Structure 1
Amino acid sequence: MTTANELRLLPWSGPDGKPCYLSTDDKDSYMSRLADNIEAVQLGTAADLLVEAEETLGAGDADTEALRHVAQELTGALRDVLRIAISRGHRLTASEPHRL
């Protein structure tokens, strides 16, 4: 099993909004693969939203409702991408050899 500082931050929150973590050494476990797949979907969604935002902002005639919608969607995508970055950063740090 992994140590406390090697827990994987999962790309979703619990019902109370708190972070969820995975403790496993098996990168091919069902939960690890599920988390990898959800991260891939979230990153793809963020990329699609970036294109949508560029189109909306580039149109020049977007109304307030369209701008608000894009801003809300981008906020959610940014939250997801930030969680992925934090999770991957922790895993990189945990996998580095410890130097004395």
Structure 2
Amino acid sequence: MTTRNELRLLPWSGPEGKPCYLSTDDKGGYMSRLADNIEADQLNTAAVLLERTSNTLDDQDADPEELRRLTAELTGTLRDVLRVATSRGHLLGVSEPPRGF
């Protein structure tokens, strides 16, 4: 039986928001490549959003609704990046970050 430490946390959630895992020895397989590409997209989105956030926060006339939207986007993106970091940490044999971060 495959242990949880041998599974790769995928960059998307399953039903009811539960984590999805991949069990494979083929790091070049279709699902592994798909996960790698989605992780790369998520990290790129985070970099773009970080730049946009910096510009918005520098704007003294930023609309409160725009700031709420930006906060919602940051929350989702941070969740994605944390999932990537957790997944890669598992691949490296590093323990999962504590809950609440």
Normalised to the residue count of structure 1, the TM-score between the two structures is: 0.89
Question: Could you say which residue in structure 1 is the equivalent of 2:76?
Answer: 76
The answer (yes or no) to whether the contact 1:2–1:25 under 8 Å persists in 2 is: no
CA distance in 2, matches of 1:7, 1:24: 8
CA distance in 2, matches of 1:2, 1:54: 44
One-letter identity of the residue aligned with 1:83: R
How many residues align? The count is 94
Q: Deviations over 1:61-100 (max 9, x none)?
A: 1011010011000000000000000000010017xxxxxx
What root-mean-square deviation, in Å, do the aligned CA atoms of Structure 1 and Structure 2 show? 1.5
CA distance in 1, matches of 2:2, 2:46: 30
Unaligned runs of 5+ in 1: 95-100
Q: Deviations over 1:26-66 (max 9, x none)?
A: 10000000000000000000100001100100011101101
CA distance in 2, matches of 1:24, 1:3: 12
1:3/1:40 Cα in 2 relative to 1: closer, same or farther (>3 Å)? same
Normalised to the residue count of structure 2, the TM-score between the two structures is: 0.88
Residue 2 of structure 1: CA displacement?
Answer: 5.4
Residue 15 of structure 1: CA displacement?
Answer: 2.4
Question: Could you say which residue in structure 1 is the equivalent of 2:25?
Answer: 25
Written as runs of structure 1 = structure 2, the 5 A alignment for 1:2-81 is 3-81=3-81
Query: Identity over aligned residues, as a percent?
Result: 71
Stretch deviating more after TM superposition (29-38 or 4-13): 4-13
The answer (yes or no) to whether the contact 1:10–1:20 under 8 Å persists in 2 is: yes
One-letter identity of the residue aligned with 2:34: L
Unaligned runs of 5+ in 2: 95-101
Residue 4 of structure 1: CA displacement?
Answer: 3.3
